[in-house]
Chains A and B, each alone.
Chain A
Amino acid sequence: MIVSLKVARLFCLAFLFLCLVLNLPLFSPDLRPGFWMAAAGSTSVSGSFPPKTRPLVIAIVPKSLDNPVFVDSMETAMSTAKELGVKLEWVAPFKVDPDLQVKIIEGLIWRKVDGIAISTSDPEKIRKVIDKAVEAGIKVATIDADCPESQRLFYCGTDNYKAGWACGEAMVKIVTERGLADKRLKTAILTGGIEAHNLNERIRGFKEAVAGKLDLEYVALLACDDDTTTGAKVVEAYIKEHPETDLFYFSGGWAFFGPTESMPLYQEWCNNGGIAVSMDTFYSVLQAAKKGFAQALVGQDFRKMGELTVKYLVDAINGLPVPMEYIDTGLELADESNFDLLLSQKKPWEMK
């Protein structure tokens, strides 16, 4: 009985050894689960993912998921990716959160995607992780919001300074037409994130465009973290407290993405002669402008952003040259003269 037990034990050991030898290739570094390493310490970037036999995977990381401005970009990016035979992932924090955006990018690095395009919510925080991704051999681009001084391959999006300049010029035109150019005008600005480079560029462009032409007193810089509801709320609250404000510059159209009925005081302010110029020419923003919520709009071409970003990123992954480091997707100007035309050409988001 004891002898048979010993034999059985020996047989089992031999079988286990054989299994181990046969399964060794399965434990190649690419397939080794990284979880246990991650569990022992922080998220590791040394883990590998499947070899290149799979289709190319590129990821676009907008600032947040809840901002509908990126929906057009996502659509064209996905269509382009489908055409090019690559897999596109669209990943971001639900709301603007630079730290979480960094984590998400680190996850992509760990998974060793082939390319990443990022809409930078905070250049200071994102720059490091971009460099880390580049060092890991991933092609990295920026979309919509650039991250200067990083090792990103290219930026695809609006020239935000130009966009801001266009807004400034539109403001100068309207104020002059109303005969207020020689008055000192109290001006409030709504932005998304205080640290967002693209928005700051727009504000800079706006200010430099009006400088010398108008006498503006910048009385407030309001931030809404790219949140549509917050945007409308802070504007409404500010106008309630400061109805004497003369001008409003919106560096993004967040306040008008939702129903305008939530901004009665602002509407009253507009009816009382308030002048507003806003970025973005989405359907809902055009609708609001037509109601008098803004006298001029400067739009971005998000569809082109999605399309070109995927195209050039795939090119870069495939070793093809990217035509330029700064890919400008152009601007779209709107005022009372073409609101109806543009509304007829665009469609609402209908997301809610």
Chain B
Amino acid sequence: MTSTKKTSKHELIPVHEKLSDTEKEKLLSALGISFREIPKIRKNDPALAEMDVKAGDIIKISRKSVTAKNTVFYRGVTDV
């Protein structure tokens, strides 16, 4: 997993990390869904600017949450 923590990032942007292929398979089977069903993020999203991503990748997003302090969210990368 490549970390993209950078000090200059805006406080509204949570940490985005790319999942490896094995992690991706594991996640999808654990959730029992296909890639089509997870929320999406565009490939040209500013938050992914410094990351090497392609359509079909899954991004792990570690959000700060008011109700649970930290939550993890996943988005699949799409073209367009």
Q: A and B bound?
A: no
